[in-house]
């Protein structure tokens, strides 16, 4: 057994499935998960000292690559001054100001420790604000693992074939209404039927937990218009897309102002930090100002805030997203080209530093489309690439990420590997 295999065997003794988050276990692709011991720039090294070009980036946060010197420095300085106070600090005020400046839809923001907390709190707030219970979500969208959101959610749950989770009371799930993504007619029909009972729509405005699926302009407009008309709250879950697809997130690209926005991943620069914010008339319903309770011992943790602040400042530099978008597009265009040369049924797309590729003729528009792609081909491709030293997300239901540390050479190396693997798996 190699080190990865030994560690995975040992891990299963005291950790359920050997992992602390399910998709890490390689359940859908098979094989042994890699245990990482070091990351630097675009690379990670596993327990057997094998190097990989990393297109997962801790599932999105590491937009600057691993151990960026300036982020590292900020974290070390903050830690030296104290790991946690459970009391306000100046740095969290600075981060809140910066988030509100970057996202005009956010007038007030609260910091939390995970994306799950952000979405769970935003939903409680929307329900408290509207005095309504029903929640609309879309098939294949994942919004963290709070009970009311574990209904037809993406990634880990798709990977394991559970449309939902055990342990979620039917009474809780009953208030979650699930519609197909990008289906304007279904959305209109639902609001016509019970619009006055709907507290909120929560949506991944670019879905990244059923691979990558873009919301159509008509769908985006319909969500904004219907929530306005019926007095429901529009929640953009930008935990994945926030500061990843654009400096002003998906809402900047859509030209839409959601009522509430959830952030996570990039906003914490690799540390446990997330946020939710939006209209101040809604946010002022939160305790201690209002009746909706929400709290956290480690919320606004100074070390995590330092990583987030350093990251947001670096991605705000002139031309950052332009360069990142070009680099990501080079990867996608290259893959499409190689697929043509090798007669592989394939499509790919990217926005900013986020990409999706599919073993299907066309780019998927919905969960059903994603399910129709060739997933056994994905698994073969994944393992072929892993052998070539390329680390992709171990599931056909995940988006991929390019960081600012991925050089032209890294992209060319990846494309050369992909060409070999496309020929192998034909």
Ligand X SMILES: *Cc1c(COP(=O)(O)O)cnc(C)c1O
40 C-beta neighbours (distance < 10 Å), count:
14
Q: Does 22 bind ligand X (CB under 6 A)?
A: no
Min separation Cβ 264 and ligand X, Å: 5
**Are 204 and 142 a contacting pair, CB within 8 Å?**
yes
How far apart CA 64 and CA 71 sit, in angstroms, is 9
How far apart CA 295 and CA 93 sit, in angstroms, is 17
How far apart CA 400 and CA 350 sit, in angstroms, is 9
Site string for ligand X, 197-216 (x = CB under 6 A): -------x---xx-------
313 is catalytic: no
Q: Does 347 bind ligand X (CB under 6 A)?
A: no
How far apart CA 361 and CA 258 sit, in angstroms, is 33
Active-site choice (43, 52, 55, 142): 142
**Are 95 and 302 a contacting pair, CB within 8 Å?**
no
- Candidate residues 43, 142, 219, 397; the one interacting with ligand X per rule CB under 6 A: 142
Which residue's CB is nearer to ligand X, number 119 or number 294?
119
- Helix intervals (H) in 195-241: 217-230
Min separation Cβ 144 and ligand X, Å: 4
**Are 91 and 309 a contacting pair, CB within 8 Å?**
yes
281 is catalytic: no
Give the neighbor-by-neighbor strand order of the sheet with 400-401: 347-351, 354-358, 400-401
Structure tokens given for 376: 């056994």
Min separation Cβ 402 and ligand X, Å: 17
Strand partners, 41: 66
- Candidate residues 33, 65, 140, 264; the one interacting with ligand X per rule CB under 6 A: 264
Residues numbered 397 to 426 that lie near ligand X (CB under 6 A) are none
Q: Does 28 bind ligand X (CB under 6 A)?
A: no
CA neighbor of 243 nearest in space, from 147, 340, 99:
99
- Candidate residues 239, 315, 338, 392; the one interacting with ligand X per rule CB under 6 A: 239
Which residue's CB is nearer to ligand X, number 145 or number 406?
145
142 is catalytic: yes
Q: Does 353 bind ligand X (CB under 6 A)?
A: no
CA neighbor of 286 nearest in space, from 92, 119, 110, 96:
110
Structure tokens given for 400: 């991929």
Site string for ligand X, 69-108 (x = CB under 6 A): ----------------------------------------
Site string for ligand X, 143-182 (x = CB under 6 A): xx--------------------------------------
Min separation Cβ 379 and ligand X, Å: 22
Min separation Cβ 289 and ligand X, Å: 25
- Give the total of residues touching ligand X (CB under 6 A): 15
**Are 157 and 27 a contacting pair, CB within 8 Å?**
no
Residues numbered 104 to 123 that lie near ligand X (CB under 6 A) are 114-116, 119
**Are 82 and 302 a contacting pair, CB within 8 Å?**
yes
How far apart CA 117 and CA 103 sit, in angstroms, is 20
Active-site choice (134, 137, 265, 330): 265
Residues that are catalytic: 142, 237, 265
Contact residues for ligand X (CB under 6 A)?
114-116, 119, 142-144, 204, 208-209, 237, 239-240, 264, 274
């Amino acid at each position: 057994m190699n080190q990865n295999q030994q560690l995975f065997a040992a891990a299963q003794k005291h950790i359920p499935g050997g992992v602390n988050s399910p998709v890490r276990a390689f359940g859908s692709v098979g094989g042994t998960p890699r245990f990482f011991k070091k990351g630097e720039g675009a690379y990670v090294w596993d327990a057997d000292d094998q190097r990989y070009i990393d297109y997962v980036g801790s599932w999105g946060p590491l937009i600057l690559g691993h151990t960026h010197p300036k982020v590292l420095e900020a974290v070390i300085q903050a830690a030296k001054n104290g790991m946690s106070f459970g009391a306000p600090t100046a740095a969290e005020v600075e981060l809140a100001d910066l988030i509100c400046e970057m996202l005009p839809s956010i007038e007030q923001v609260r910091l939390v420790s995970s994306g799950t907390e952000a979405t769970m709190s935003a939903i409680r707030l929307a329900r408290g604000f509207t005095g309504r219970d029903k929640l609309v979500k879309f098939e294949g969208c994942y919004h963290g693992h709070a009970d009311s959101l574990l209904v037809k959610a993406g990634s880990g749950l798709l990977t394991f074939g559970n449309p939902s989770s055990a342990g979620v009371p039917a009474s809780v799930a009953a208030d979650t209404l699930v519609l197909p993504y990008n289906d304007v007619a279904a959305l209109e029909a639902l609001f016509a039927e019970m619009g006055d009972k709907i507290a909120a729509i929560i949506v991944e405005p670019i879905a990244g937990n059923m691979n990558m699926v873009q919301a159509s302009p008509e769908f985006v407009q319909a969500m904004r218009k219907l929530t306005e008309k019926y007095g429901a709250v529009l929640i953009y879950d930008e935990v994945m897309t926030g500061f990843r697809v654009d400096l002003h997130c998906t809402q900047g690209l859509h030209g839409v102002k959601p009522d509430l926005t959830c952030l996570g991943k990039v906003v914490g620069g690799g540390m446990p930090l997330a946020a939710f914010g939006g209209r101040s008339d809604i946010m002022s319903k939160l305790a201690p100002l209002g009746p909706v309770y929400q709290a956290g011992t480690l919320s606004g943790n100074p070390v995590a805030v330092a990583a987030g602040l350093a990251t947001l400042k670096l991605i705000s530099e002139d031309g950052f997203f332009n360069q990142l978008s070009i680099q990501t597009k080079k990867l996608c265009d290259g893959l499409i080209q190689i697929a043509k040369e090798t007669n592989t049924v394939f499509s790919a797309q990217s926005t900013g530093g986020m990409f999706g590729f599919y073993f299907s003729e066309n780019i998927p528009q919905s969960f059903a489309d994603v399910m129709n792609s060739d997933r056994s081909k994905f698994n073969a491709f994944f393992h072929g690439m892993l052998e070539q030293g390329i680390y992709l997300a171990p599931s056909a239901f995940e988006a991929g990420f390019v960081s600012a540390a991925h050089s032209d050479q890294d992209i060319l190396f990846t494309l050369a590997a992909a060409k070999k693997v496309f020929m192998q798996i034909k």
